[in-house]
Structure 1
Amino acid sequence: MPKPSNSEAPLPFPILIGDIGGTNARFSILVDAYAEPTQFPNVRTADYETIDEAIQKGVLDKTSLRPRAAILAVAGPIKSDEIPLTNCDWVVRPMQMITGLGLEDVLVVNDFEAQALAIAALSDEHRERIGDTPDGLIASRVVLGPGTGLGVGGLVHAQHTWIAVPGEGGHVDLGPRSKRDLELFPHLEAIEGRISAEQILCGRGLVNLYHAICTADGITPTLKEPADVTSHALAGTDKAAEETVSLFSTYLGRVAGDMALIFMARGGVYLSGGISQKIIPALKKPEFRAGFEDKAPHTELMRSIPTYVVTHPLAALAGLASYARMPTSFGVATEGRRWRA
């Protein structure tokens, strides 16, 4: 009978690694600590009724490799033996996976823990520097990912160990500072009267901000999708879209700077996700770093902290693979999140 386990022992190879998002799930299998992961095509969550079905048909039916263990990164609270996902209808049931998929060991972590693990050792080819600050120290880091929502994860470096810190940093307050902010914020869609960072710094947040700009300026909005806003902004074909992405960069810089101060992230702040990658040209303009550094009385400290965009196409899987290979190099809590046969 499968049961919860707090064991810190390494998971047995081969290990199934999964990054479960709201729209897509990405999987690979790590045969041993020295092999490169075997990648599988992305799985659309809407195409399968359950995650177990997706793993069986999207992975196990397509390979002779038989994983003994699984590490899954999910967007959702891990509070029990049944883990509902935030942005899709799947429910992760580790004990059912053990009996139904032939696994011996299942570890479930937060999706931004996986992103945090990934930034422990990103090479230059998988990151794009924003600003002229030299590379950071081997020190604590932060990752922010504007996407469906705004994910935030910390990576604390202590006693030669990387300790991933999950949280809900995307829901901190974001308030107006400039005259233009004061014109726009009354027109932003709030949640119970509050503007959190995620109300602006995600896909729907981009549209929220675009509509606020149009309303404040008496313009009829014509763009409906986040991709339309970013495309027109980067092409310079819509003034409201241009301002939207410019202000998005400013606000992202402010929140990224706040997170850098919270974690004393001298090792750098990393921006992950598709939105960050798409708007790199805008992030390289002065607005992002200006918002990031404007933290008096700690402006000089902020100027010393580097910022990057993560360009690795499968960063979360890479982070989980790093942990699977060398679990003693990372502090990942397993209590209430690991199940064994």
Structure 2
Amino acid sequence: MTASAPSLTSSFAFPILIGDIGGTNARFAILADAESEPRVFPTVPTGGFPSIEAALEQAVLPQAGLRPRSAIMAVAAPVKGDQIPLTNAGWVITPSDMIAALGLVEVVVINDFEAQALAVAAISKGDHERIGGGAALEGASCAILGPGTGLGVAGLLHARGAYFPVPGEGGHVDLGPRSARDLALWPHLEAIDGRISAEQILCGRGIVNLYRALCLADGLTPQFSDPADVTTAALGGTDKTAEETISLFSTYLGRVAGDMAMIFMARGGVYLAGGISQKILPALKKPEFRAAFEDKAPHSALLRSIPTSVVTHPFAALSGLAAYARTPGRFGVATEGRCWFG
């Protein structure tokens, strides 16, 4: 069982198991054939099972009614080598083990935000909600960001009639202070090796990191230790520090989204994916996000022309994977070193 030499896969053997595996939760679905809609299974907590094989055998495949022959997995980690440890979870994805345990003929593993990029090409306009102005240019590049367990970033290019997802680790770019309030907060933020990356603020634990920094800067005792509690208090207007936390979160997300828009020249739009973006949509619709997104002198006019949206499809990554599984030729997904055969 070895990784493939070909750079692109032209077709998959049905039924196809697809999976979106994040740092906290894993979501799976199965495609019976090219005409079927994906059958989505209940979400599996990654911490609830020792391995992906155990999760599939115990919590997913008994409900499927048929055994998959192929699998396409999107994982929250860089895909390098025959063992792929998740960045923010304990699972190590080993495709040869999946093949042996599940009787598969082929396994493809891509980055989770490649799947989010595929989703942007696959979902309808009704599956995302616009924030602010701008107009997408047909066939232009897009950028996708998603605060969740970590901060995922990807690009989506369109060329020669195909969509090319561009994976990366853009969530780990530096994020520095700009305002007087930022300068008061930065000494209180939890750093990694002395560095504040975007992911240190723009993810679930980052919300708590930011909230605690605000409390320390203002001499307050933190009342919350869970990001969901902070966001609920902020959106409900019951705690001023929580409200400022989500307001600043929106500002910093706007800054990073604007940076990614320039990096990818994303005149096709910038898309915010993941559950946090959906939950704080009312806050993202306030002026802070879009103002920070556009505040990119000398290119503010360019940023004003680029639309931003929140992806609202409940299983966007699975939808993107399903589109790729049905018609791989429509997508320029490189599989060299990322495809294993039985």
Q: How far has the Cα of 1:159 moved from its partner?
A: 2.2
d(CA) in 2 for partners of 1:59, 1:204? 28
- Say yes or no: does 1:104 pair with 2:108: no
Deviation at 1:75, TM superposition (A): 1.3
Query: Residue in 1 aligned with 2:142?
Result: 141
| Structure-2 residue corresponding to 1:72 | 73
Separation (CA, whole Å) in 2 of partners of 1:57 and 1:138 = 43
Alignment correspondent of 2:260: 259
**Which amino acid letter does the alignment assign opposite residue 192 of structure 1?**
D
Q: Distance between the aligned counterparts of 1:44 and 1:233, measured in 2?
A: 26
1:337 maps to amino acid = R
The match for 2:93 is 92
Alignment of 1:1-341 (within 5 A): 2-7=1-6, 8-341=9-342
Give the Cα–Cα distance (whole angstroms) in 2 for the partners of residues 201 and 173 of structure 1. 12
Residue 146 of structure 1 and its aligned partner are, at CA, apart by 0.6
Partner-residue secondary structure (3-state), 1:29: strand
TM superposition shift of 1:94: 1.2
Cα drift, residue 308 of structure 1: 0.6
The alignment's C-alpha RMSD in Å is: 1.4
Aligned equivalents of 1:248 and 1:182: distance in 2? Answer: 15
Asked if the contact 1:13/1:31 (under 8 Å) is kept, the reply is yes
CA-to-aligned-CA distance 1:56-85 (integer Å, 9 cap, x gap): 222322233221110001112322222222
Give the C-alpha shift of residue 49 in structure 1: 2.1
Gaps of 5+ in 1: none
> What's the offset of the Cα at 1:316?
0.8
How far has the Cα of 1:38 moved from its partner?
Answer: 1.6
Measure, in 2, the Cα distance between the counterparts of 1:59 and 1:224: 32
CA-CA distance at 1:89 after TM superposition: 2.1
Equivalent AA in structure 2 for residue 249 of structure 1 = S
Q: Structure 2 stretches of 5 or more lacking a match? A: none
Instruction: Find the residue that maps to 1:98 and give its secondary structure.
Output: helix
Structure 2 distance, partners of 1:47, 1:173, is 33
The structure 1 segments of at least 4 consecutive aligned residues displaced by more than 4 Å after TM superposition are: none
Once the two structures are overlaid, the 10-residue window that deviates more, 49-58 or 285-294, is: 49-58
Aligned-partner SS, 1:152:
strand
1:45 and 1:216 map into 2 onto residues whose CA distance is 35
Note the C-alpha offset of 1:45: 2.2
Query: Equivalent pairs: percent with the same residue?
Result: 68
TM-score (norm 2): 0.96
Letter in 2 for 1:163: F
